[in-house]
Structure 1
């Protein structure tokens, strides 16, 4: 059982999203506490490559905690542009928040809804519910790379990136069993999303589409 292909079918990639995904380049959605030790959300990430500068310090953001075996490698570089770096940071937090909701088996978890609205939030709710129905959560290392950010004058942003799921799997909560599978082309997923800066200064994801097995994301 592959982590996302089994528990969540890939979304249809629209023509508009395809245009956004082309920005990823050739190197280059939606996303069991038990006895697992909870860890801070930055576990497994390289802080030097996680864009965190120039964020609104006054925002009361939800604390994100994850099981120790849920780790990430974000290969998203700081751009030097405050708005672009804020978009990347809040998109990263949304990804973590979805995995926390899965770990806590809560399809309506307030953390991921802090970072997403509309279609994106509805897609995440359905995605999380699939894990709840299977009494499963995520485990392992997930890598994110090949990002492309375009901040518009109207307070919205387009974000495209790739995800490598080859080292992340399903873990069943009741048995503790991890379903380890071999990597295939479907382990690599291209995403395209639209974000909007809300009144709190948070970049919330409003729309997210994905293409599993995209050639843009193959290693």
Structure 2
């Protein structure tokens, strides 16, 4: 059975917001410097009343964020990856109603996360292995109250494991291993410094992400 893969939705709302926020500033090169190099994602809670997003030892997320184009984008960048990890947490928990992704996402992004979790649950699979994220960039969107976070994913070393038999379904590295994510983040109105994903677009076979 083939490994479940994220759907590739066409999000016109996201596209229109990005276009509205583009200009000479958005076209300038963005900083992609290293901040200590790749490292595992958050091991658990991010502080305050945030939900647990810890993952089992065999489910590894290696995140190389680099630096945002503006220092003010850092919280949005951090919470964008917490959203991705929270979605992974829901898959491992086999719970489409997991509170973790609902804390970090709303609207289309929350529906996307739920749909992904449901696919894994229906297939009877759970992830295992190393998932890698890199080349993150940020840009202001709209009237400055949103941040678009884009990044690459290499899923060539993460696989599906049958919950029933424990069998790991391995696949070879190919163009399908690389994806490009675009996540539209907005600050939560009821929690200062916390951001939520509102829309997400995932493009498969992303040539610019191959390495």
Q: TM-score, normalised by structure 1?
A: 0.76
After superposition, residues 147-186 of structure 1 pair within 5 angstroms as 147-152=136-141, 154-186=144-176
Q: Give ranges in structure 2 of 5+ residues lacking alignment.
A: 33-37
Q: Which residue number in structure 1 is paired with residue 35 of structure 2? A: none
Give the drift of 1:82: 4.1
Number of residue-to-residue matches in the alignment = 190
1:124 aligns with 2:123: no
Deviations along 1:149-185, one digit per CA (max 9) or x if unpaired, are 0135532111111100010111111111110110110
Q: Give ranges in structure 1 of 5+ residues lacking alignment.
A: 29-44
Q: Which residue number in structure 1 is paired with residue 197 of structure 2? A: 205
After superposition, residues 1-219 of structure 1 pair within 5 angstroms as 3-5=3-5, 8-12=6-10, 16=15, 46=39, 59-79=48-68, 81-152=70-141, 154-199=144-189, 200=191, 201-219=193-211
CA distance in 2, matches of 1:178, 1:9: 21
Give the drift of 1:100: 1.0
CA distance in 2, matches of 1:128, 1:100: 9
Q: Per the alignment, do residues 207 and 175 of structure 1 end up closer, same or farther by CA in structure 2, a change over 3 Å counting?
A: same
Q: TM-score, normalised by structure 2?
A: 0.79
Give the drift of 1:11: 2.3
CA distance in 1, matches of 2:50, 2:196: 12
Give the drift of 1:10: 2.2
Q: Does structure 1 retain, via aligned residues, the 8 Å contact 2:109–2:200?
A: yes
Which structure carries more relative contact order (alpha carbon 8 Å, separation 6+)? 1
